[in-house]
Amino acid sequence: MLIKKPDGFKPSEITPEAVYLQRRAFIRGAGLGLGAMLLPGMGMAAIDANVPVRDITRYTGARQASTLVPDWLHKKVSQAQPSRHLAQEAVTPWDIVTTYNNYYEFGTDKGDPAENASDFRTDPWQVEIAGQAEITGSFNLEDILKPHDLEERIYRLRCVEAWSMVVPWIGFPLADLIKRFKPTSKAKYVRFETLFDPKQMPGQRSRFAALDYPYREGLRIDEAMNELAFVGVGLYGNAMPPQNGAPLRLVLPWKYGFKSIKSIVKIEFLERRPVSSWERSNPKEYGFYANVNPQVSHPRWSQASERRLPTSLFAPNRRPTLMFNGYGDEVAHLYAGMNLRNDY
């Protein structure tokens, strides 16, 4: 497929920032929770804007997933502000987003991560910055996050397995993080690496693991600098649950979910394109770019449609898949002239 004209989502799918802020001010003034009137099908409890997020339930059914999160991170997450990136769709219920996961480090069944990651320790946590950048070294998580104001973005998440969710993430633009470390002109790509800790991550101990660990993913530098690329540190108004990639992960809504690497411990700026973990494991099925594309089927199933969770036998909730997951206006220009049947 040759990209000729960007595809995008409709303006109606995004709430303008001014409108959202007006709603937020009104809701707070009325003593209601942030977003109580924002999305259809999403109820929220009353909150006080000054109460830390860990002490409230902002979304129906949401709760703090881990007691191991440091106080400073709770406080920072509680100060997150709404952004203009708010998909006007009902969010997927908390209990599904936090129990239906692909995180092979904790097991291959969808429920394994929630079961096996409950005691996952993310404090202390360090991130190594390496490669073609003026500023490199190891940094504590607090130092990584401290300069950044957090915001909430509601994104669609499309798995390569043809199911999808809508998730309210908390974090900050990846571009802002990259700029801090001043990549040089030789930095054409960015590689990310997940924690390798077999004692905490039972999937890394398996002799039958589908992947070589640690898990690695990569982006072109212009992809990483795109406005949609996001560093996630929370969801549903709480710090990131372990099974969803605590303490920090990528969120790349126009790509299949496996590109949004979890529990990041290393960011490296490279001159040459890296090989990602799934690409190395099975290059015929998983490419480097992994852009959501309904016109290019997975070798074992179609990508033309998806199941929007929650689903059931009698309510499959199937819908057509959108090119770039509906974010073409923001990202299609990155792939102009490329044949996305070959560069999948």
The CATH code of the domain that includes 91 is 3.90.420.10
Residue 282, in any domain of the structure: yes
At residue 77 the predicted structure's pLDDT band, cuts being 50, 70 and 90, is: very high
Residue numbers of the domain that contains 129: 11-335
Binding residues for Mo-molybdopterin are: 101, 104-105, 159, 194, 244, 249, 260-262
How much is the pLDDT for 78? 92
Question: CA-to-CA distance for 85 and 74, rounded, in angstroms?
Answer: 22
- Residue range 291-300: average pLDDT? 97
pLDDT in tens, 124-139: 999 999 999 999 999 9
Residue 321, in any domain of the structure: yes
Q: How many domains does the chain have?
A: 1
Residue 40 has pLDDT above 60, yes or no: no
Neighbours of 309 (CB within 10 A): 17
Residue 34, in any domain of the structure: yes
Residue 205, in any domain of the structure: yes
How much is the pLDDT for 60? 60
2, 24, 190, 342 from 339: Cα distances, Å:
5, 43, 22, 6
Q: Which of 49-58, 78-87, 273-282, 292-301 has the lowest mean pLDDT?
A: 49-58
How much is the pLDDT for 11? 33
How much is the pLDDT for 210? 84
Binding residues are: 101, 104-105, 159, 194, 244, 249, 260-262
Rg of the chain's alpha carbons, rounded to an integer? 19
Residue 35, in any domain of the structure: yes
Residue 260 has pLDDT above 60, yes or no: yes
Residue 329, in any domain of the structure: yes
Nearest to 286 by CA among 318, 259, 321: 259
Residue 340, in any domain of the structure: no
53, 98, 154 from 78: Cα distances, Å:
5, 19, 16
Residue 134, in any domain of the structure: yes
How much is the pLDDT for 267? 98
How much is the pLDDT for 58? 53
Strands of 137-140's sheet, edge to edge? 137-140, 126-131, 264-270, 189-194, 216-220
pLDDT in tens, 218-236: 999 999 999 999 999 999 9
At residue 35 the predicted structure's pLDDT band, cuts being 50, 70 and 90, is: very low
At residue 208 the predicted structure's pLDDT band, cuts being 50, 70 and 90, is: confident
Tell me the helix, strand and coil percentages in the chain, rounded to 5. Answer: 25, 25, 55
DSSP string, 256-299: -GGGS--SEEEEEEESSPPPPHHHHH-TTT--SS-B--TTS-BT
Residue 174 CA neighbour count, 13 Å, CB half: 27
Residues 6 or more apart whose Cβ sits within 8 Å of residue 129: 135, 136, 137, 138, 139, 181, 266, 267, 268
How much is the pLDDT for 26? 37
